[in-house]
Structure formats: structure tokens, C-alpha cells
């Protein structure tokens, strides 16, 4: 039996734990979340019919104000969709690469793959944030119109109530 | 002494299966995503590398753009035959009118072809009907013209006359062309636009839709 000294053993070992444990755990979660987010976004992009992307609103119906702003936001989203989809597609490839190399996060990997995973999470996070911002603006425009309608209905009901009470 | 030798075998197998499913999903999503991206205005030639479109390729906006450069310079044998058969301004009869409608009636009456050889069912059948352009297409001075001014999606138009089935010069596909006037353009440009074509996947792709 050949005996190896601890010093020799250490010289021949690779240090994979160059990152704090809690960061590693966060990174693992981030990779899985990125994968699921990308898959869901791409599935939505593929499944939703093209006609839905060109949906526009007109003033005069529910939307009393801000139809132009809403249409501009929708148009911006429509123009940005191909870029977002392709970025997500590339990201999904990188994510799957990281997961394959680490065998589903079961095996330790070199530090460069940790950096790759971090870099990979950034565009997905950015696209999610931008989409969330666009949705927020749309919801805001919807809410403003809803409030206006609420005031209009309140005033009309108030006038009717005053007329009936006065009569 | 027991050395930890990595994850258990079943976990490895499970991971391998999940990874295989992931790559399978990616492969399918990649193709579908690229196809979908091509439907957006300005992306119709995205990742289209083949310049040797066969003449049996159905006309769509993608092949139209590619053929634009390749066919004009070196038309294939079939294209030459088709060109020799089709005169410079030939308008092909529609699928339903061919063989049944006399030429004189076809010329004298206002006829709205509901469908043409390589087009989808038309959504337009009356003058004054409004529509929206959803893909980058060309507006032409005549249905048989291959050249025209490119117009981007998002523009609106009004139907100003009956639509026609026509085979543009150099093509083998019969398309349904709408006679339109663009709305919101300074000079109120009028011309002909193809309502639909057949995409790479063999399905009908509409370039325009009626306004809601």
C-alpha cells in the first residue's frame, strides 16, 4: 500500500469551494429559476398567437384617456419581443450547458462556470424586470381609467340621487 | 475509512433524464422560436441561409425577399418556363372562377376572389373596408410587379377596389392581391398588397388583417 502525505494530497486536490456556501446555494437556485423562467417565456412566446401581439386599444370605450400611451407601450413590447425571445433562447442554452456539466448541480464545477451562471442570470432577470415594468405601466393606465370611471359613475349617481331627493 | 464518492446512482440517472428532457425541450423551442421570430416585421429573413429556393417553394415574404435578389439575376429553368408561359401582366383566374367564369364576365363584373392558388381565405370583400398590416410587405403598382415600396407593419389601409389573383413575374405561386390606399401616409399611396402567403412550415401566413 502506498502512503501519501497530507501535503502531497493537498497539492493534488482541486479547490472547488472558492465561493461562500450561501452564495453557492443562491446560485444553484438562480440557475433553476432561470431555466424555468426561460422555458415558460419561450413557451408563451411560441404558443400565444401572433394576432394577440398586435392587439391595440382605442379611446372612447373603456379607455377614456391614455390609449395612445398604451398603444405605444404595446408597440414597444411588440418590437422588443423578438430580441427578448432570442436572448432567452441563448440563455437557455447556456443554462442547460451549466446544468449538464454539473450533472444537475450534483457535481462540483470549476469557478468559471459559477461566473457563467451569474452572467447568465443577469439578462433573464433584466428581461423579467423590463416585462414587469411594461405590465406595471399597462396596469397603471388601466387603473387610472378605472378611477375616472368610478368618479364619473359616482357623480352621475350623486346627481340622480340629488334629483330624486329634491323631487 | 469511507470516502464520499459523489451522488447516489439513482440521482445521477434522474439528473441525466432531466437533462435529456431539457435539451429535447430546448431543441423544439429553438425551432419554434426562430419560426415565430420570422413572423415579426423586419425578421422574415432571420437565419435564412439558403439562397437556392426551388421554384416549387411557395411564395411568402421570406422567399419573396430572397428570390428578389437571386431570381432577378439568374432565374432557374422552371422559373424561365413559368415566365415564358406567363405574360408580363398576366392575372391568373381564381381557384373558384377558373374554367367556369367566362373571360368577358370576369372582366366586366366586380369580382372578389375568396381565395387564390397559394393564399388563404380572403377577409376582404368590399370597398371601404379597413385593415391593418401586420408584416413587412411591398406595395406594388400592379399585382404582377415584383418590385414595390416596402411598407412596415402597423400601418392601416382602406380597400379601394376589388382584389385580384395574380402570379407576380418570375414566381410560380398565385397570390391574392388587395387594391388599397394606405392611411396616414402623406401622399395617400395606392397600390396592391399580398394578403397572405404560405410560410416555411406550410401554413398560411397573413400579412394583413381587417381592422376591429
Mean pLDDT of B161-173: 79
According to DSSP, the residues that pair with B132 across neighbouring strands are B156, B209
Q: Do A106 and B30 touch (CB under 8 A)?
A: no
Set of chain A residues whose Cβ sits within 8 Å of the Cβ of B22 = 35, 96, 99
Residues 6+ apart with CB under 8 A from B58: B118, B173, B197, B198, B202
Q: Do B29 and A107 touch (CB under 8 A)?
A: no
Q: Which of A51, A82, A93 sits opposite B37 (nearest CB)?
A: A82
CA distance A24 to A30: 10
Task: Grade residue B63 by pLDDT with cuts at 50, 70 and 90.
Answer: very low
pLDDT for the residue B94: 41
Task: State which residue of chain A sits closest to B30, comparing Cα positions.
Answer: A89
Q: Do A96 and B26 touch (CB under 8 A)?
A: yes
Residue predicted with more confidence, A72 or B145: A72
Task: Grade residue B98 by pLDDT with cuts at 50, 70 and 90.
Answer: very low
Q: Is the pLDDT of residue B96 over 50?
A: no
* HEC-encoded secondary structure of A53-121: HCCCCCCCCCCCCCHHHHHHHHHHHHHHHHHHHHHHHHHHHHHHHHHHHCCCCCCCCCHHHHHHHHHHH
CA distance A90 to B65: 27
Set of chain A residues whose Cβ sits within 8 Å of the Cβ of B1 = none
**Which range (A126-130, B4-8, B108-112) has the least confidence?**
B108-112
**Which range (B81-90, B183-192, B201-210) has the least confidence?**
B81-90
Q: Do A93 and B18 touch (CB under 8 A)?
A: no
Q: Which of A46, A78, A104 sits opposite B33 (nearest CB)?
A: A46
Question: Between the ranges A87-96, B115-124, B133-142, B187-196, where is the mean pLDDT highest?
Answer: A87-96
Are the C-beta atoms of B169 and B144 separated by less than 8 Å? Answer: yes
pLDDT for the residue B22: 93
Q: Do B15 and A82 touch (CB under 8 A)?
A: no
Q: Do A96 and B32 touch (CB under 8 A)?
A: no
Q: Do A82 and B134 touch (CB under 8 A)?
A: no
Task: State which residue of chain A sits closest to B22, comparing Cα positions.
Answer: A96
Q: Which of B11, B36, B134 sits opposite A106 (nearest CB)?
A: B11
Q: Do B29 and A89 touch (CB under 8 A)?
A: yes
B118-145 burial, b at 16+ Cβ within 10 Å, e below that, comes to bbbebebeeeebebbbbbbbbbbebbbb
Q: What residues in chain A have their Cβ under 8 A from chain B's Cβ atoms?
A: 35, 39, 42-43, 45-46, 50-51, 54, 75, 78, 81-82, 85-86, 89, 92-93, 96, 99-100, 103-104, 106-107
Are the C-beta atoms of B166 and B191 separated by less than 8 Å? Answer: no
Task: State which residue of chain A sits closest to B9, comparing Cα positions.
Answer: A106
ipTM of the complex: 0.76
B101's grid cell: 367564369
To the nearest whole Å, the CA of B200 is away from the closest chain A CA by 16
Closest-CA residue to B143 (of B177, B170, B118, B120): B177
B144's grid cell: 404582377
Q: Do A107 and B7 touch (CB under 8 A)?
A: yes
DSSP string over B23-86: HHHHHHHHHHHHHHHHTSTT-TTTT-------TTSPP-HHHHHHHHHHHHHS--HHHHHHHHHS
B104-115 burial, b at 16+ Cβ within 10 Å, e below that, comes to eebeeeebbbbb
Q: Is the pLDDT of residue B101 over 50?
A: no
Task: State which residue of chain A sits closest to B6, comparing Cα positions.
Answer: A107
Q: Rounded to an integer, what is the distance from CA B122 to the centroid of its chain?
A: 14
pLDDT for the residue B185: 62
Count residue pairs from A and B with Cβ separation < 8 A.
68
Q: Is the pLDDT of residue A95 over 50?
A: yes
pLDDT for the residue A64: 83
Are the C-beta atoms of A111 and A18 separated by less than 8 Å? Answer: yes
Taking CA atoms, A40 is separated from A103, B26, B117, B121, in Å, by: 22, 11, 38, 33
Task: State which residue of chain A sits closest to B20, comparing Cα positions.
Answer: A100
pLDDT for the residue A18: 65
Q: Do B19 and A46 touch (CB under 8 A)?
A: no
CA distance B198 to B120: 8
- Total length of chain A: 167
Element (H, E) at A29: helix A21-47
Residue with cell 424586470: A129
Amino acid at each position: 500500500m502506498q502512503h501519501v502525505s497530507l501535503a502531497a494530497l493537498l497539492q493534488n486536490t482541486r479547490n472547488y469551494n472558492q465561493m461562500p456556501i450561501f452564495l453557492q446555494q443562491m446560485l444553484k437556485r438562480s440557475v433553476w429559476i432561470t431555466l424555468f423562467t426561460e422555458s415558460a417565456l419561450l413557451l408563451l412566446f411560441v404558443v400565444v398567437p401572433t394576432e394577440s401581439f398586435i392587439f391595440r386599444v382605442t379611446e372612447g370605450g373603456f379607455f377614456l384617456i391614455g390609449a395612445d400611451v398604451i398603444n405605444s407601450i404595446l408597440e414597444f413590447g411588440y418590437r422588443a419581443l423578438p430580441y427578448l425571445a432570442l436572448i432567452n433562447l441563448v440563455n437557455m442554452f447556456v443554462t442547460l450547458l451549466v446544468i449538464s456539466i454539473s450533472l444537475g448541480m450534483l457535481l462540483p464545477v470549476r469557478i468559471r462556470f459559477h461566473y457563467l451562471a451569474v452572467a447568465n442570470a443577469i439578462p433573464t432577470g433584466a428581461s423579467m424586470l423590463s416585462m414587469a415594468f411594461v405590465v406595471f405601466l399597462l396596469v397603471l393606465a388601466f387603473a387610472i381609467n378605472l378611477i375616472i370611471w368610478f368618479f364619473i359613475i359616482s357623480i352621475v349617481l350623486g346627481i340622480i340621487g340629488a334629483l330624486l331627493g329634491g323631487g | 475509512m469511507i470516502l464520499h464518492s459523489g451522488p447516489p446512482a439513482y440521482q445521477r440517472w434522474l439528473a441525466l433524464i432531466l437533462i435529456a428532457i431539457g435539451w429535447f425541450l430546448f431543441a423544439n423551442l429553438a425551432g419554434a422560436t426562430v419560426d415565430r421570430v420570422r413572423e415579426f416585421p423586419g425578421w422574415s429573413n432571420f437565419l435564412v441561409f439558403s439562397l437556392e429556393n426551388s421554384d416549387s417553394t411557395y411564395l411568402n415574404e421570406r422567399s419573396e425577399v430572397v428570390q428578389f435578389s437571386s431570381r432577378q439575376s439568374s432565374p432557374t429553368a422552371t422559373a424561365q418556363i413559368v415566365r415564358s408561359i406567363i405574360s408580363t401582366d398576366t392575372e391568373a383566374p381564381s381557384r373558384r372562377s377558373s374554367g367556369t367564369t367566362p373571360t368577358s364576365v370576369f372582366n366586366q363584373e366586380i369580382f372578389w376572389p375568396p381565395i387564390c392558388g397559394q393564399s388563404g381565405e380572403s377577409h376582404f370583400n368590399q370597398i371601404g373596408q379597413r385593415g391593418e398590416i401586420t408584416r413587412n410587405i411591398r406595395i406594388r403598382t400592379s399585382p404582377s410587379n415584383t418590385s414595390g415600396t416596402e411598407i412596415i407593419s402597423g400601418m392601416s389601409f382602406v380597400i379601394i377596389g376589388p382584389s385580384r389573383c395574380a402570379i407576380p413575374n418570375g414566381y410560380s405561386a398565385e397570390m391574392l392581391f388587395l387594391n388599397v390606399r394606405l392611411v396616414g401616409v402623406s401622399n395617400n399611396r395606392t397600390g396592391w398588397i399580398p394578403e397572405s402567403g404560405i410560410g416555411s412550415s406550410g401554413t398560411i401566413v397573413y400579412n394583413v388583417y381587417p381592422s376591429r
